[in-house]
C-alpha cells in the first residue's frame, strides 16, 4: 500500500480534528432527580432541622450520592431538573454558582472528603454546615443560635478547610459539580401540578475516584492510530511517496 507523505499527514490531522470535534460535542448537562435526603455513604442525618450529609440523586438514571454546597436555595424530594456538569477545571465557564472563586470549591472538596471519612461519622452535620458556611455565613449564624457546641465543631472544620495545606492536598479531578439550569423546567412530582414551592434547586457535588473520560480515551486512540501508521511505515507495509 503506497501513501503519499501528504496523505499520511492528512490522515493524522483528520484524526486529530475528529478527536477535538468529538470532545466538544459531549453534553454538558444531565438529568438530575433528587430521590432521598440520605445516602449509603453517610446515612440519613439532620441538624438544626435541616437534612445534612450526602443525599441521593439519580443522575442520568444512575443512583449517586451528592453533597449540597448551597444553604440559600431549596431542594425537594422528589425533584427533577437539568443540571450543568462542571469539574474544577471548567469553573470559569460561568455555569456554577460560585465559579469566580475556585479556592472556595477546593475547600468544599476537602470538607466533602472529611465527610466521607468514617472516622468523622459523628460530625457529618457540622461538616455540612461548614461547607455551607464557605459560601453563606448565614449557615453558621443559624447553627450558632441552635447549638454553640455544634457551631464550634463546624467552625473548627471551616478553619481547617481554609488552610492551604489541607485544601491544596485535594485531587480536584475526583469531584464533579452539578448546578441547576434555570432555563429548563424544574418539577416536583409530589406537589400540585408538579410545581415546586421554591426554585432554583441547590447545587450539588459528587466525590469519586475519576474514571478515564471519553475525551481521554479518544486521545489515547489517536496516539495509537499514529503509532500504528508509523509501525506500518517502518515495516514497509505502508510506503510514503512524494
* pLDDT tens per residue, range 137-180: 999 999 999 999 999 999 999 999 999 999 999 999 999 999 99
Provide the percentage of residues in the chain whose pLDDT is more than 70. Answer: 75
> Would 18 be classed as within a structural domain?
no
CA distance 58 to 160: 31
Q: Note whether residue 17 is domain-resident.
A: no
pTM: 0.76
Specify if 230 maps to a domain: no
19 CB-near residues (< 8 Å, 6+ apart)? 215, 218, 219, 221, 222
Question: The C-alpha cell of 64 is what?
Answer: 449517586
Q: Hey, what's the cell of 192?
A: 400540585
Average pLDDT score over the chain: 84
Q: For residue 130, is it within any domain?
A: yes
**How many domains is the chain built from?**
1
Q: SS3 breakdown of the chain: % helix, strand, coil, rounded to 5? A: 45, 20, 30
- Domain holding 181, by residue range, is 29-212
Amino acid at each position: 500500500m503506497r501513501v503519499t507523505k501528504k496523505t499520511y499527514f492528512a490522515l493524522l490531522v483528520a484524526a486529530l480534528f475528529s478527536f477535538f470535534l468529538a470532545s466538544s460535542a459531549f453534553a454538558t448537562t444531565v438529568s438530575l432527580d433528587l430521590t432521598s435526603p440520605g445516602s449509603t455513604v453517610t446515612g440519613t442525618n439532620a441538624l438544626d432541622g435541616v437534612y445534612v450529609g450526602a443525599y441521593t440523586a439519580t443522575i442520568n438514571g444512575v443512583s449517586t450520592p451528592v453533597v449540597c454546597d448551597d444553604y440559600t436555595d431549596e431542594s425537594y424530594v422528589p425533584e427533577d431538573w437539568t443540571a450543568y456538569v462542571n469539574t474544577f477545571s471548567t469553573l470559569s465557564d460561568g455555569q456554577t454558582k460560585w465559579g469566580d472563586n475556585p479556592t472556595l470549591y477546593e475547600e468544599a472538596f476537602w470538607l466533602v472528603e472529611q465527610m466521607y471519612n468514617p472516622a468523622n461519622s459523628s460530625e457529618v452535620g457540622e461538616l455540612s454546615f461548614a461547607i455551607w458556611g464557605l459560601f453563606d455565613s448565614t449557615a453558621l449564624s443559624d447553627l450558632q443560635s441552635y447549638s454553640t457546641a455544634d457551631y464550634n465543631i463546624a467552625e473548627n472544620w471551616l478553619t481547617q478547610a481554609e488552610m492551604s495545606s489541607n485544601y491544596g492536598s485535594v485531587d480536584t479531578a475526583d469531584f464533579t459539580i452539578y448546578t441547576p439550569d434555570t432555563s429548563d423546567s424544574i418539577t416536583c412530582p409530589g406537589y400540585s401540578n408538579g410545581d415546586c414551592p421554591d426554585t432554583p434547586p441547590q447545587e450539588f457535588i459528587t466525590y469519586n475516584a475519576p474514571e478515564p473520560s471519553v475525551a481521554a480515551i479518544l486521545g489515547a486512540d489517536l496516539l495509537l492510530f499514529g503509532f500504528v501508521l508509523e509501525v506500518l511505515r517502518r515495516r514497509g507495509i505502508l510506503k510514503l511517496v512524494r
